[in-house]
Amino acid sequence: MHQTVTKPLDTSRRWWVLAIVVAAQFMFGVDAFVVNVAIPTIAVELKASPAQIESVIAIYLIAYATLVVNGGRLGDIHGTRNVFLAGLLGFTLTSLWCGLAQSGAELIVARLTQGASAALMVPQVLATLHLLFTDEQRNRAFAIYGIALGLAGAAGFLLGGLLVTIDLAGTGWRSVFFVNVPCGLVIAAAAWRIMPSVPHRAGTRLDITGSVVLFAGLLCMIGPLLLGHDVGWAPWLWLVMAIGAVILLAFPKLEHAVARAGGMPLIDLSLLADATFLRGLGAAFFFFCANLSFYLVMTLFMQRGLMIPPLAAGMAFIPLALAFVVASRHSGARARHRGTRVLIEGCALQIAGLAALALVAFSVDAPSALLLALTMIVFGYGQGLVMAPLSGAVLSTVKPAAAGSASGIYGTTAQIGNAAGVAAIGAVFFAAEAVQSARAGFLVSLALFVTLIMICAAFLARMRRASARS
């Protein structure tokens, strides 16, 4: 009888591996923001409709959200190194496709596949860090990861404005996607040589049916919000949304059926009984609804309403991004001492920042990029106070055995919130812009952001009460 011997994981070059996976995560983070800055230019050159402008961002998020849990499981089945490489190369090739797109419709399809590739790559980053850093150096490794994540926003805004402005080799906006190609190939070559093979985890299974049903439900719910402006809010859109609502309401029953059949559903069904966790997910959804959508609306207002050039518009976000990084560094220690109160304070600061922006937009005829940049600092600091400790607060009552599943659900909820916010608030902005002006669309959008953040704060307060009772 032969006994299987598991080969120890090679951690001798783990700091090099950290550099590799963090570089991939940084590229993914930059991509999320660099597209926002380039969107107005893309819309003009591809003659893209409002629906296509929003879809370029939203479809990427929907694809990522519905596939990221199975992406993590594929790493367990086939090894994190193999799936990381597959996702990274896929992300690189689909970035090339995005840059070569000749129409708004083609760019949307390319972004769909780019989001799917990211769902393979990104889960392997944290999985690799968890596997390689099991000693006192873990906190240092995750601190480096967190700093890179925070700086990706500032880099994305600056790079987007710079690349569109300098028109590298006549490529214009396309260079914001082309830049991923050499970066991705270099990271992939380094990963191939340095990343260790990780033992496969037995018993992990995929839930393809769950992913397909979730994707269909989200597309039916969010798609009409994207298309509404272009088709005059035709009655059939509401029917499609109703079908999407039915699909999403039936999704938990499908997951129960998968579990009864001996499968491994996308969500750990025991988590649905945790009131604190569910309220935390509600807070996360509404917080992220006001996340990427804010940057989209702010970019459109600056470039289309105020005619601020792309480089100046991109640079206007840098103080916000740096304030976000500073707040993220402060929030961890404050959250340990004050709990969810810090998150509620962060919501209050975001609302104060949005009120200041509304005052500037209402009282100044042509606010400069510098004035807007200074005004956005308060919002950025408040956002950093919430985002950094939010995941820990939401997962605080989850049992260790379910932590992986709960993290996957949290990440999926965050990206669904981002997609829903881009679709809904983007639709409101374009409708108000068409009827009156970009300034009117901006002011209405700010009011919606305030409403969303207030709902997030209400969920956080309810989560705090539920946690106190348990």
CA angle 84, 187, 14 (to 5 degrees): 75
State yes or no: pLDDT of 97 exceeds 90: yes
Which pLDDT band holds residue 333 (cuts at 50, 70, 90)? Answer: low
Sign of CA dihedral 146, 151, 152, 153: positive
Q: Looking at residue 4, what is its pLDDT?
A: 43
For 226, list phi and psi in degrees, rounded to 5: -70, -40
Which pLDDT band holds residue 3 (cuts at 50, 70, 90)? Answer: very low
Kindly report the number of other CB atoms within 10 A of residue 312's CB atom.
18
Q: Looking at residue 13, what is its pLDDT?
A: 76
Specify the amino acid at residue 462: R
Q: Looking at residue 451, what is its pLDDT?
A: 96
Q: Looking at residue 69, what is its pLDDT?
A: 82
Q: Looking at residue 271, what is its pLDDT?
A: 79
Convert 8-27 to b/e letters by CB count within 10 Å (16 or more is b).
eeeeeebeebbbbbbbbbbb
State yes or no: pLDDT of 111 exceeds 90: yes
Which pLDDT band holds residue 402 (cuts at 50, 70, 90)? Answer: low
State yes or no: pLDDT of 391 exceeds 60: yes
Contact 199, 397 (CB under 8 A): no
- What six digits make up the tokens of 259? 């579990």
Out of 87-91, 112-116, 229-233, which region has the weakest mean confidence (pLDDT)? Answer: 229-233
Out of 170-184, 350-364, 392-406, 419-433, which region has the weakest mean confidence (pLDDT)? Answer: 392-406
CA atoms in the 13 A half-sphere facing the CB of 76: 14
Q: How far apart are CA 316 and CA 368, in angstroms?
A: 9
Element (H, E) at 58: helix 50-78
State yes or no: pLDDT of 292 exceeds 80: yes
Contact 344, 461 (CB under 8 A): yes
Which pLDDT band holds residue 404 (cuts at 50, 70, 90)? Answer: low
User: What DSSP line would sit under 277-331, residue for residue?
Assistant: HHHHHHHHHHHHHTTHHHHHHHHHIIIIIS---HHHHHHHTHHHHHHHHHHHHHH
State yes or no: pLDDT of 351 exceeds 90: yes
Q: Looking at residue 2, what is its pLDDT?
A: 44
- What six digits make up the tokens of 363? 């009282």
For the segment 188-196, the average pLDDT, to the nearest whole number, is 90
State yes or no: pLDDT of 238 exceeds 70: yes
What does pLDDT average to over the chain? 85
- Looking at the chain, the whole-number percentage of residues with pLDDT higher than 90 is 35
Which is higher by pLDDT, 332 or 109? 109
Model confidence over 252-263: pLDDT tens digits?
888 888 888 888
Output Rg (C-alpha) for the chain, integer angstroms: 22
Model confidence over 123-132: pLDDT tens digits?
888 778 777 7
- In three-state secondary structure terms, 224 is helix
Q: Cα dist. 18→77, 82, 133, 328, 369 in Å?
A: 22, 16, 10, 21, 36
For the segment 283-303, the average pLDDT, to the nearest whole number, is 92
State yes or no: pLDDT of 11 exceeds 70: no
Model confidence over 69-94: pLDDT tens digits?
888 888 878 888 888 999 999 999 99
Specify the amino acid at residue 68: V
Q: How far apart are CA 14 and CA 135, in angstroms?
A: 12
